[in-house]
Structure 1
Amino acid sequence: MDSPYRTDAQRQTTHPDGRVEPASGTVLPDGPFTNGDLRPVPVAGRRWTTYTFLALWVGMAHNIPSWTLASGLVLLGMDWKQAVLTIALGNLIVLVPMLLTGHAGTRYGIPFPVFARASFGLRGANLPALVRAAVACAWFGIQTWIGGEGVFFLAGKVFGPWWSDAAPFGGHPWTQWLSFGVFWAVEMAIIARGMETLRRFENWAAPFVIAAALALLVWITVKAGGFGPLLDQPSRLGWGAGFWKVFFPALMGMIGFWSTLSLNIPDFTRFGGSQRAQALGQTLGLPTTMTLFALLSVLVTSGSQAVYGKPIWDPIQLAARIDSIPGTLFALATVLVATLSVNIAANVVSPAYDLAHLAPRFVDFRKGALVTGVVGVVIFPWKLIENPSVYIFTWLGVVGGLLGTVAGILIADYWLLRRTRLDLLDLYTPEGRYWYAGGWNWRALTAFAAGGLLAVGGSYSTVDAEGAAQGPFPTGGLVPLLKPLADYGWAVGLASALVLYLALSRLAPEARRRPAAAQPVGEAAL
């Protein structure tokens, strides 16, 4: 019997650079699993360069949450060198699944939900897609509220007390709701114009944000007469057992920060002009930018400590202390651009594809983006911000831990089983080789469930200084036996799901199905 992992070369064309598209005269089948946004990008339309991917990561890395990553590690007892080292190592590690899953996007021109069909099945791919969409929609709402809050706060420095002290509505001044709404509308306007508009926006946003961050560093350094005392503070943990006890959970946190993008990345690399362009652009863009941004945040915060007597990690709060209207307006523009660049790319593009995948006949990319925007509002992100220990770091952390299992399954299937060979037509065809049992692959579902249990089953709540639990879980863990694994959830989920999926696929391989008949050229032609 033929291997189920072979492809039919007559149905697709492989170009000399390795990129694949349907063979000339062959079209994808019309049906419930296809629409214009989910079809492979033709090779002629894959034009993103190394700089495009570099700019994409610069734009996504330069945002308020990533600016404050180092502050959390310093508060845990690390010195600035340990904090920057942890961030750098975490981003080097997460770069690996980024490159592995991103390969499929550039080779076949397909988004993440279609890529997931090869391992989960045509219908089963909706499971990881919706898990990922839930995380992204929540983060979209949170980042939009943060962006609107920045607009409100800094605009108050320009317009005066009438803006900051406006009549309250729903617990916040009406001007803050207005800021939130305006910021949301700008995001929707940009993404509604499609991926090409996003590419152009990221291309100019990246150098602007870098210049603005460096300008902030120069301003605070001149004002402080140096970099300040934070750089001289020793680690409270040292390099002994106390450090390693904090280091490994912190490392998982740094990896988890981009865990969704380790799955989302085919949504962007499908436009890649070559594998070299996407791989080099990501390698130059992610670990270097995050590390330099962490170093920059430490230097600026250290200067703020020298000037104001206390470290100010929040860049909005620091920018609000600029004592000139032009400087404040420049800071306002920087907050807008930085938050827009990360939120649209990281938290709108991917759930838009996920929702289009759920109902391709009725939802396209733009409608999916609009639904994402609406969900990001109705989850009440201002409530999530009020209680981050329960909502952000618990719910999002647990769901994020499940994403490691998905990454493990995708890597095992694409690299170890199929050796990067996929059949494009069958990715869109019911009863094809990726149909499995009714559109679901039980091997992937089993690996997802088992890996998810190991990754998040031991989740537990921490205890504050008064002994109160910070979160909804028992302090002893949901499953006490699994509690030691909880701090390593992403890595545990990825490794366990990869091994289990590979074992199940080897022990009970899928019988090779007859390739679906190619349709004649018609309206669905690429």
Structure 2
Amino acid sequence: MLTPAKAGGDVAVIEHDPRLYNEDLAPTTSAHRTWGTYNYIALWFSMSMEVTTYMLASSLIAGGMNWKQAVFTILLGNLIVLVPMILNAHAGAKYGIPFPVFVRASFGTRGANLPAILRALVACGWFGIQSWLGGQAIAAMIAVLWPHTAAMPSVLWASFLGFWLLNMAVVWRGVESIRFLQGFSAPFMLVMSLTLLFWMVHKAGGFGPMLSAPSKFTSTGSFLHFFFPSLTAMVGYWATLSLNIPDFTRYAKSQDSQVVGQAFGLPVAMTLYSFIGIACTSASVVIFGEPVWSPITLLGRFHQPGVAFLALITVLIATLNVNIGANVVSPSNDFSNLNPRLISFRTGGLITGFLGLAMMPWKLMATFGSYIFGWLVGYSGLLGPVAGIMVADYFLIRGTKLNVVSLYHRGGEYEYSKGINPRAIVALVVGVVIALIGLVVPSVRFLYDYAWFAGFFLSAAMYYVLMLGYRADAAVRTGMVLTNDDVSPEEIGSPS
């Protein structure tokens, strides 16, 4: 039961609204704050070192870049997305609240469901993609050991469903199993990835031959035509986590822990593992005469059981790590936010898993073009505007001060109009339309190429302008003084 101070010195008793609260959405207490700097570095290394990151990098080589251009594009994209990542992470570490609760401040207690579901649906697509890749890896490695299974579709589908069930088992064990898994797997993944790199270098005859391929772009204009949408795709790759990063930083021991851990972990891990993908893809040109952008296909060409076994373990741990960390925690909380009384974190995770199957991931990863310019750039146009609104609201409108009680209570500071902030909805819709209009209007195709950037900055600016003059004052709206100092996270618990 909450007892924030009331104007005049009296005490008002407020119980949290069960429509907006359950134990999974509640602010973390000091007992939950167990994640240090190493955990956030491990989080990013474990989430970066996986198949889709490798394919992200190798697709740039397949598209015509040389290795220096590809590394630069990836590093720049990750430094850009690091900015909204750390900004949105601040509220999670300060107040211990997850993304779907944090976004209530800008969109309203009911309106928050819209950005939360947008984020959740993208995560479901990623969950399906990662599960499909994990299943492909299992099937490919089985085919190396028993070649006759390569012509048996049932083996692929059984591998896919088996890996999907493994993901569901980890979800059922809860968020602490994620911290444990990432803590030991990050160094293992680094060692195994470097082993694969040096093995490919040996097969290619050294770094010289594998990194000597020139860029296929004959002019600056042709390079920039490929570079800018590729940069947007790099930003879009982590556009999902830039929204729901509070789901992880709410467990931080301190603000410094998450800032330092992320500032080091994200760009270093992504650049390092991307280089491995770039180098291995370049080596495949030397060894096989063509760029092989999928590591699963690449490994399948080496019929060596020992290598196949190590590769299988590496791919499975990598894919499991990123799938749980990046694609289950957030949508589970988002679905729980729809109806906290009925949907727990576990139930939300199960919903995520089934929707991931329904989105047919085998079609989303058909080619490197559909992956980069269709999936990544496309959904960045949906999530960029949400990130812009969140940053503008938290830092420019509220100065990082949130009324924690009202985030879990109807009729308070974040009620707006029947629980929906129409200013945020307008800014979101306009941002999304502008970001994606290039898909249907060829003359403004450049807006789609910059989808995340166009949506982020336009929605942030529009939201800020619409909110000028609107300063939600809890003392006026509720007759109470409710600030971040009145109520500690420990007080947002079960009613006494």
TM-score, with normalisation over the residues of structure 1?
0.86
Distance (whole Å) between structure 2 residues aligned to residue 376 and residue 413 of structure 1: 31
Distance (whole Å) between structure 2 residues aligned to residue 117 and residue 216 of structure 1: 45
CA contact (8 A) 2:62 2:293 kept: no
Task: Note the C-alpha offset of 1:525.
Answer: 4.8
Distance 1:425 1:51, change over 3 A: same
The residue number in structure 2 matching 1:81 is: 68
Task: Note the C-alpha offset of 1:446.
Answer: 1.1
Alignment deviations for residues 60-85 of structure 1 (CA, whole Å, 9 cap, x no partner): 11111211223222233321101110
Correspondence 1:320 to 2:300: yes
Unaligned runs of 5+ in 2: 7-11
Hey, which of these two has a bigger chunk of helix by percent?
2
**Of 117-126 and 142-151, the range deviating more from structure 2:** 142-151
Distance 1:33 1:304, change over 3 A: same
Distance (whole Å) between structure 2 residues aligned to residue 301 and residue 88 of structure 1: 18
The residue number in structure 1 matching 2:468 is: 506
State the one-letter code of the partner of 2:83.
V
Please give the residue correspondences for 1:100-115 in structure 2 after superposition, counting only pairs within 5 Å: 100-115=87-102
Correspondence 1:197 to 2:159: no
Please give the residue correspondences for 1:108-127 in structure 2 after superposition, counting only pairs within 5 Å: 108-127=95-114
Unaligned runs of 5+ in 1: 1-7, 12-24, 167-172, 460-473
Task: Note the C-alpha offset of 1:208.
Answer: 1.3
Identity %: 45
Task: Note the C-alpha offset of 1:318.
Answer: 2.4
The residue number in structure 1 matching 2:453 is: 491
CA contact (8 A) 1:135 1:400 kept: no
The residue number in structure 2 matching 1:19 is: none
Task: Note the C-alpha offset of 1:421.
Answer: 0.5
Please give the residue correspondences for 1:117-516 in structure 2 after superposition, counting only pairs within 5 Å: 117-161=104-148, 163-166=149-152, 173-227=153-207, 229-237=209-217, 240-386=220-366, 393-394=373-374, 397-459=377-439, 474=440, 476-477=441-442, 480=443, 482-510=444-472, 512-514=476-478, 515=480
CA RMSD of aligned residues (A): 2.5
State the one-letter code of the partner of 2:142.
A
The residue number in structure 2 matching 1:463 is: none
Task: Note the C-alpha offset of 1:521.
Answer: 8.0
Q: How many aligned residue pairs are there?
A: 481
Distance (whole Å) between structure 2 residues aligned to residue 501 and residue 457 of structure 1: 20
SS at match of 1:203: helix
CA contact (8 A) 2:144 2:303 kept: no
Task: Note the C-alpha offset of 1:417.
Answer: 1.1
CA contact (8 A) 1:228 1:306 kept: no
Task: Note the C-alpha offset of 1:455.
Answer: 1.2
Task: Note the C-alpha offset of 1:443.
Answer: 1.0
**Of 426-435 and 316-325, the range deviating more from structure 2:** 316-325
SS at match of 2:207: coil
Distance (whole Å) between structure 2 residues aligned to residue 377 and residue 279 of structure 1: 35
Task: Note the C-alpha offset of 1:388.
Answer: 7.6
CA contact (8 A) 2:61 2:278 kept: no
CA contact (8 A) 1:432 1:516 kept: no
CA contact (8 A) 2:137 2:312 kept: yes
Task: Note the C-alpha offset of 1:404.
Answer: 0.6
Distance 1:242 1:380, change over 3 A: closer
**Of 85-94 and 503-512, the range deviating more from structure 2:** 503-512
Alignment deviations for residues 235-260 of structure 1 (CA, whole Å, 9 cap, x no partner): 23367333233222211111011111
Correspondence 1:94 to 2:81: yes
SS at match of 1:254: helix
Alignment deviations for residues 241-281 of structure 1 (CA, whole Å, 9 cap, x no partner): 33233222211111011111110111111111111110111
**Of 250-259 and 225-234, the range deviating more from structure 2:** 225-234
SS at match of 2:239: coil
The residue number in structure 2 matching 1:22 is: none
State the one-letter code of the partner of 2:75.
A
Distance 1:308 1:118, change over 3 A: same
State the one-letter code of the partner of 1:506.
L
State the one-letter code of the partner of 1:524.
S
Distance 1:302 1:522, change over 3 A: closer
